[in-house]
Amino acid sequence: MNETPTSFSFGMIGLGTMGRNLLLNLADHDFAVAGYDKDTSKVSLLAEEGAGMPVQGFSSLPEFVSNLRTPRAIMMLVPAGPIVDSVIEELQPLLQPGDIIIDGGNSHFTDTNRRDAAVAAAGFHFFGMGISGGEEGARFGPSMMPGGDQQAYQVVQPMFEAIAARVGGEPCVTYIGPGASGHFVKMVHNGIEYGLMQLIAETYELMKRGLGLDNAAIGRVFAQWNNGRLQSFLLDITKDIFTFQAPGTDHLLLDDIKDEARSKGTGKWTSQVAQELEMAIPTIDTAVAMRDLSKYKALREKLATLYGPEPAALNGDQEAFLASLEQAFYFNMVITYAQGMHLLAKASKDYGYGLQLAEIAKIWRGGCIIRSSFLSDIFNAFQHTPDLPHLLLDEQVRALVNAAVPGARTVVAAAVTAGIAAPAYAASLSYFDTFRSARMPSNLIQAQRDYFGAHTYELIGHEGVFHTQWTPAHEDAANKQDTFTGPANQNEQPVIPNK
C-alpha cells in the first residue's frame, strides 16, 4: 500500500479465502483494515493481493491487536468448533473493555449463545454473523446476517453496509435480532441450500438417466431455465458446470467427479433443530440423508448388481416432459423455501428472536448462495403480511403453486414408475399433500400409542385427555365389550364415544 496508517478500523483473524477477500472488499471501500494469521504464507498472500490498498497483515497477534483503533472491532473467520473458543481465549487478554469480537464463521447457534454470555461477562462485546456468498461474494459483495449485541453491530454497521451485495440500491445486510439469531438464520439458509442443491441433482438425474439427454442438452435446459422464473445463483453455476471441460480433455470435468457428496454440518444442524422444534422440513431432511447415502459408494455398487434391472427410460413426449419438469422444479423450489421460512417463524417465537421474515428474504436476494428471483415473491408475501403463518397461505404464492403442482405430480409419478430415484421431489409433493389435508390418519397412531403404552389420546368434541384399556384382562375375547375408560383424570366423568 502507498501509506501505512497508524491504526486500522477493522481486524480479521483468519486469512483464508473468506477472511482475506472480506478484508480486500473493505479496503476497496477505503477502510483501513488489518489481518492476522499464524500461517505466514497467508499473510504474504494478503500483502500481494492488497498491494496499493489500505490493508496490512500480521503474524503476531499482540502486534495485530495493538494496531487496531479502539473500540477494536475484530472478526474471526476460522473453522467452527473448538478453534473459535481457542482464538477467543487467546485474544481476550489483549483487549480492553468495550472491544468487539465478531464470529463470522458457521458456528452452531448454541455455541454462539454460550460465547456471547462468556465474552459479555469478561467486559467485551460479542455477536455472531452469518455470511453467505462464497469467495466471490466475500470479495465483491456478500449477504450478511448479524445477530446479537445490537450496540456492537452499530459500530461496524457502516462498514458492512458498504461491502454488502446490493439489490435495488439496498445493502444485503440487516440486524437480524438478539442472541444467536444471526447464526441461526444462516444455518437455515444453508438448510435451504441443501434442499435446492439436491433438487437440482435429481433434475440432472431425470434428464440424464430418464430422458437420455447428453451433457450439452442438459446444460442448455439449465441455461434456459436460468433465463426465466427459475433464475438463481445455483442454476447459474450449474449451467457453467455443464460447459467446463476437464483440463487437457474433450469431456466435462463433471463426469470425472465422484458421486459422493460432502458436507460441513449446517444442513444436519437444520434438521436436528427442526425436530427439536417439532417442525416438518422433509425436503431439507431428505437432502441431508442423500448426502449421507452417497458416501456408501461400495455398498451402492454391490446393491446395483443384486437389484436389477437398471431404471427404465421415461416414456412419452420429451418436450412435454421437460415442460412438466420445469413446473415440478419450480414447485419444489417454492416448497423448500416455504419449509425454511416456516422453521424461522417457529424459532423466532420459541427463542424470542423477533425475526422479520421480509427483511431476511430481502437480504437473501443478493450476494448469497440461495439468491433467486423467487425471493422477491417471498419478500412481498411477508412484507404484505408480516405475521403470515406459512408462505403457502399467501395468495400470490398459492396461485403459483396451483399452476405448478400438476407438473410435480407428473414427474414424481413418472420417476417412480421408471425406478429413478427422486426423493426430494417426492418429499416436497408429499409435504404439500399432507399439509393441505384437513384430516390426517394420525388418529390411528394415537390409538396405537394408547394401546401399547397407555400414552392417552384426545377426542373430537370433548375436552380432556383419555385412555382406554383396549384388551380386557379378565374377560373372554368372545365377550369383549366397549372398554373405553374415559378421562385420564379419574375425577372427571367418563364420556362414552359413539359406536
Positions marked catalytic: 186, 193
Which distant-in-sequence residues (6+ apart) come within 8 Å of 435 by Cβ?
A: 280, 390, 392
Give the span between the Cα atoms of 23 and 35, in whole angstroms.
7
Euclidean distance between CA atoms 25 and 166, whole angstroms: 14
Cell of 46: 494478503
Cβ(339)–Cβ(280) under 8 Å? Answer: yes
Contacts of 336 (CB under 8 A, 6+ apart): 192, 195, 196, 199, 283, 284, 428
Sign of the dihedral through C-alpha 369, 160, 43, 55: positive
Instruction: State which amino acid sits at residue 134.
Output: G
